[in-house]
A and B are shown apart, each in its own frame.
Chain A
């Protein structure tokens, strides 16, 4: 088995109200100097050794991310 991580983030030009809400709360909690927060999704997949990169890319592009509003990165990591 291999571990694959897929990170999905809203595209830079898409308004991210969730990230903004987090950023606005930080000064209230006493944390200064954070000028921007973007909130996305992090997926961890356990995959069989014979699942190739093209299949992983297709899973990310067609299902885990919506290319209209999101960017994504697929990477294999040490389990």
Chain B
């Protein structure tokens, strides 16, 4: 299976995302922000970093990149899309996921290994986890506070669309301790922490993040 990983000007974590895809047995395909096609990929990862320098707002300019038009179209047809950190912000700005990410409540950039609880293991990206499992992956962001109005939060909670929740102290003031959410069909997932940095105990705190990429391979093979 082929998994596209987008590089925008200012993206940092594309290489780690590509490596995670290969660890899970997929083929990583580089996508460029100015591309007008998705090169026949089966899924797309929007990785972390500081697209376009995070000018205006995180993800606001990246949303209008040519490749994102293709991603939005493909996502609406059911293609699995994963947004990590800045990628999560971009997916929110592109309206593939509801809500927005704002400056951390204590203003500090947070960089630490973070425990997450898997709240939903029925998405394209989380089927390898047990419901309620706790995983440890790196978190590194300055604008990770998840915000949405009350009716959106009620909808997310009511439909089980909160995918990951922070365990322990809330690192950034996210409402309801939300670390990651999914679209109504469970194909698009966005989260602030970085599973792609936790796929091998040699280079990360754990290999807990690999489950997301293995889940994707499972979902595409089944489809």
The chain A residues found within 8 Å of chain B, CB to CB, are 10, 14-15, 17-18, 21, 63-64, 66, 68-69
Contacts and interface: CB of A to CB of B under 8 A. Distances in A.
Contacts, number: 34
A17 B147 CA distance: 14
B222 interface: no
Contacts of B93: 66
A64 B103 contact: no
A14 B147 CA distance: 8
User: 8 shortest A-B CB distances, which residue pairs?
Assistant: A68-B100, A69-B100, A17-B107, A17-B103, A66-B100, A69-B147, A17-B105, A21-B107
Interface residues of B, number: 20
B223 to A, nearest CB: 32
B173 A68 contact: no
State the majority secondary structure of interface residues on B: loop
A15 B100 CA distance: 13
B31 to A, nearest CB: 23
Nearest to A69: B100
Given A14-B147, A15-B145, A15-B173, A66 B60 contact: yes
A17 B60 contact: no
B2 interface: no
27 contacts: A10-B102, A14-B147, A15-B102, A15-B105, A15-B173, A17-B104, A17-B105, A17-B106, A17-B173, A18-B103, A18-B107, A21-B107, A63-B56, A64-B56, A66-B57, A66-B60, A66-B93, A66-B100, A68-B92, A68-B98, A68-B99, A68-B100, A68-B147, A68-B149, A69-B100, A69-B102, A69-B147
